[in-house]
Every structure is written in structure tokens, then in C-alpha cells.
Amino acid sequence: MSTILFVLNDGPYGSERSYNALRHASAVAKQPDTEIRVFLTADSTACALAGQRPPEGYYSIERMLKGLLVKKAMVAL
């Protein structure tokens, strides 16, 4: 079993870094025998806030994190 850690630093909106990291984590989570861990630090802790209202044209980072949890990824703040 492989374990892959994604460390996010940027906030949920205003930069695409957190979005791209979560998109990548989602794709990797589909691989067999792979465990995903996501560590939210600094501004990225806002990614875990419930009830987000993403700006027009942005994906919901909250929904992306929930999707990873469904795939049994571990998310830590």
C-alpha cells in the first residue's frame, strides 16, 4: 500500500493551488492500494469551512474535500 501526502498552504479561493492539489489527490485516490492524506496548514485551513459560497466560476473546495473523505482519504488541520 502506498501513502501519498498532499500539503496545502493556500486559501480555497484566489489561487488555484489548493484546487489543483485536491483535484490531483482525487485522481490519485482512484488508484488501487493507495492511501491519500491531506494536511491543511496556514490559509488552507479555510478550505475545511462548511457552508462555503465559492465565487462565480470557481469549484467548491468544500465539496472536493468531502469527495476525498468519501474515498476514505484522511484530512488533518
The domains of the chain are located at: 2-76
C-alpha cell at 34: 493507495
Contact 52, 10 (CB under 8 A): no
Give tens-digit pLDDT for 3-51: 999 999 999 998 999 999 999 999 999 999 999 999 999 999 999 999 9
Which superfamily is assigned to 2-76 in CATH?
A: DsrEFH-like (3.40.1260.10)
44 closest CA partner among 66, 3, 4, 76 = 76
Confidence of residue 1 (pLDDT cuts 50, 70, 90): confident
Confidence of residue 77 (pLDDT cuts 50, 70, 90): confident
The overall pTM is greater than 0.85: yes
Confidence of residue 72 (pLDDT cuts 50, 70, 90): confident
